[in-house]
Structure formats: C-alpha cells, structure tokens
Structure 1
Amino acid sequence: MSLEKFLTESTLTSLCIMAILVLLSMVCVRSFKIDSPGYFQVIIEDLLSFIQQSVTETIPKDPQAVLPLIGTLWIYILLCNLVGLIPGLHSPTADLSITSALALIVFFAVPYYGIRAEGILAYLKEYFVPFFWFFPFHVISEITRTLTLAVRLYGNMSSMEIGIGVLLVLAGFLTPVAFLLLHFIEAILQAYIFGMLALIYIASGMEALAEKS
C-alpha cells in the first residue's frame, strides 16, 4: 500500500486532532492552577467531571480503570465531529475506516476489561450462559454491535455533511445557519452516544464481578 493511499484526508485530519489533544493536555497540566482557575480551566474541569460521573454511575466498582479510554473516546470523537463545521475540512468520523477503527478499539476493550475484572476463565464462561450452544450467538452479538457502532457514527456524520453541503450549494452561505447549529448539536450527541454505548458494552463485560461482589 502506497503512502498516498494511507494518508487520506480523514487520516491526516485525525492525526492533527491527536496532536492537538496531546499538546492541549500538556498545556493544561502545566498551566492549570488550583487556587485561581481561569474560565478555560473551569470548562475543562466541568467536562472531565461529567465524564467521570458518567463512568462512575455505569461502572461503580472500578471506574478509574475505564475512565481514560472512555474520556479519550468522547473528547476525540467530539473534536472529529466538530471539524466538519470548519469550511474546507471534513469530519474524520464521516469516513467509515475511521469509525471502524474506533469500533474495533471498543471491541477489544470489552474482553480486556472483562478479563481484567473477572479472570479469563470466568469471562469466557459467560459466553456459554445459559447453555453451551449459546456460544455462537454471543460471538455474533459481539460482532454485530461492533459493526453497528461503526456504521451508526459514520452514517449520521456523513449524511449530515452531505446535507449541509447540498444546502450550501443551493442556498449560499447565509441560509443554512440553522443547519450548522444542527450539525453542532448532532456532533455532540453522536460523540455522547458512541461513548455511552462503549461504556455500556465494557460494563457488561465486567458484569459478573459486580454480581459476585
């Protein structure tokens, strides 16, 4: 595979967003103050508090283990969705390859956290509940929900971008202001839905430990 085929517009935009997040996190760590927080610090702290509360309410037993992954997914997807509002740029999440990669992260995170919480034997045992012949159905369910995660985010963001693009061509730059606001709301909503579904799937993988405790 040539470098040109790998470095698509979505990939380059995604890499830029990752770099921005790394730089932003470094700036936040060095510049945030405990005694006199600024407006930006308050916004970031409120966002992190919301993420932490959501994770804790869903996984009360060990929220700190899952918090970094879910928080990163939420913030990264939100920025990817919002990039589409910038003229000349497209949301990486309007690319099926990007959403598929995100869905695969969740797919592998579920058994990772499940095995970490329960142990490999206890986790694998759940694939044969209530009877051993249910194993293929559990596997199909895992694959299906992974595909659903990828296609849902891709479908919503790509259709939104196409719709706004058509309106810009037909009506000019002044008329679709309301639709740009709709894009903004949709970007936040889709990031939240993806993160919550990922959180619920991971919680289901850790469910047996919670029931035993």
Structure 2
Amino acid sequence: MNLSPDQIIFWQMGFVKLNATIVFTWLVMLLLVISSIVITRKLSKNMRRTRWQNLLEMLVIMISRQIEEVGLSNPHKYLGFLGSLFLFIAASAICTVFPGFEPPTGSLSCTVALALSVFVAVPLFGIEEQGLRGYLVSYTKPTVIMLPFNIISELSRTLALAVRLFGNMMSGAMIIGILLSITPFIFPIVMTLLGLLTGIIQAYIFFILATVYITAATRIQKTEDELAQDSSDTIEEQDTKPGSQQ
C-alpha cells in the first residue's frame, strides 16, 4: 500500500520523475477542461435547457452565493479562482471511485501547491482592491507591533491549509487500503462512499477558508473620519424619512 501517490513512479530519467501525483493531477485538469467544453458548447438562454446546463448553473449559483455570504460583495470577480479550487479538489475525490485512481490531493506536494496558489492570490486580490499601500498598511493593524505576527500568520495559515487537506485525504485512503486487505467485500464499499463524502467536505472547507482569507485581504479599512461621516449620513437619512419628525 502506498502512503502517497508520489511513491508511484511511472517514468524516471536521472532526478526527473513522472509520478502518479503529476499524472493524475493532469488527468483531473483534463477532465475538468473537457467537461467544461462539452457542457458550455450549446448554452441556451431560453427556458428549454439541457440537464448539464442546469447542473452547471446550479453549481455556479451555489458557489457565488457562498462567496457572497462569506463577505465578498462581487462574487463573480473571484468565481474563476475559488470555483476552480473547489472543482479540482471535489473532482479528485469523486474520481476515487474508479479503480487504480490515486487522488493527487493525497500528496503533500499537491496540497502545498494549492495552498501556495491561495497564498499568492490573497495579496494580489488585496492589492487590487486596496492598493499596494493600503494592503501593506493592513499588516500594521491595530498597531505596528503586530507586523511580525501578521506575517507569521500569513505563512502559518498557508502551511495549515496544505497539511489539513493532505492529512484528511491521506487518512481516508489509508483506512480504505487497510480495510481492503482485511475485508475485501462490504466494508471497502462503505468506506469508499465515506471517503467520497469526506473529499467533498474537504473541498468545501478549503474553498471557504480561501474565500475568508481573500475577504480579509480585500476589506477596505475605514478611518475614524469616514466612520463618523457614515454615521452622520445615516442620522440625516433617518431624519428626512416621513414621520420621523413629530
């Protein structure tokens, strides 16, 4: 039993290796690309739509609502990145029902790559929303003493994202492998379904955490003068409403 798809080597020349993590990662990406092309090639704006288009629209609406509920006011701006993360992790879990498939998310190198993509995307979205100076100033909030701690937090949460996803996916694969060797009939089927559910949950958790980090990076900090101005505007609006003055 292999603890990680990194241990399965398909081809090697010197220090260059083609392992199962790389192969199955590209297979999942190819599956997603082909699926998107097939589903979107005949999109319709009429009431009569294919089942695939209805499924796609339901998925897009669900992800968009989740992004908006977390705190991002313009979910379509982040839908491509966050939706791709969710679909990749979910597809990796779903494909485990096929014999011989090793989920790339069971490799620490793959989960680190996913976490690093979030690590890079967070400051990019933050700088785009707040500007370079505004984003860098956020590291000194509420006081400049917090600067090293905020930097450590950025690095530690990236590591936590990678290790959390890797640990949960690998533990499920190990349990299934052990049960296959002990009771190769009923229990592995149940555990495979449980592993599939676990993979979808982990995809959702990773997606939500990435959205939370981007939300924190893109939230524009208001000054005290701006907050006072907002409160005065609110009071004026209440005073101008009919029936407010008696």
Matching residue within 3, 13, 20 for 2:24: 13
Pick 1 or 2: higher relative contact order, CA cutoff 8 A, min separation 6.
Answer: 1
SS at match of 1:175: helix
Matching residue within 103, 122, 125 for 1:91: 103
Q: Which amino acid aligns with 2:19?
A: T
- The 1:37/1:183 distance shift into structure 2, 3 A limit, reads same
TM-score, normalised with respect to structure 2: 0.81
* Pairwise CA RMSD: 2.0
The unaligned stretches of length 5 or more in structure 1 are: none
SS at match of 1:196: helix
The unaligned stretches of length 5 or more in structure 2 are: 1-11, 231-246
Quick check: which one's helix share is greater? 1
Q: Which moved more, 1:170-179 or 1:127-136?
A: 170-179
Q: How many residues end up aligned between the 2 structures?
A: 213
SS at match of 2:101: coil
Matching residue within 10, 28, 33 for 1:22: 33
Query: Which is higher, the Rg of structure 1 or of structure 2?
Result: 2
1:186 & 1:210 partners in 2: Cα distance?
A: 40
1:38 & 1:120 partners in 2: Cα distance?
A: 45
Alpha-carbon distance, 1:6 to partner: 4.2
2:13 & 2:174 partners in 1: Cα distance?
A: 28
Alpha-carbon distance, 1:208 to partner: 2.0
Q: Which amino acid aligns with 2:136?
A: L
Q: Which moved more, 1:139-148 or 1:77-86?
A: 77-86
The 8 Å contact of residues 93 and 199 in structure 2, kept in 1 or not, is answered as yes
Alpha-carbon distance, 1:161 to partner: 0.3
Q: Which amino acid aligns with 1:28?
A: I
The 8 Å contact of residues 114 and 205 in structure 1, kept in 2 or not, is answered as yes
Alpha-carbon distance, 1:163 to partner: 0.3
CA displacement 1:165-205 (0-9 Å, x = unmatched)? 11011101333222112111101100000000000000000
Structure 1 partner of 2:69: 57
Work out the percentage of aligned pairs sharing the same amino acid.
35
CA displacement 1:57-87 (0-9 Å, x = unmatched)? 2234332221110011111111112222321
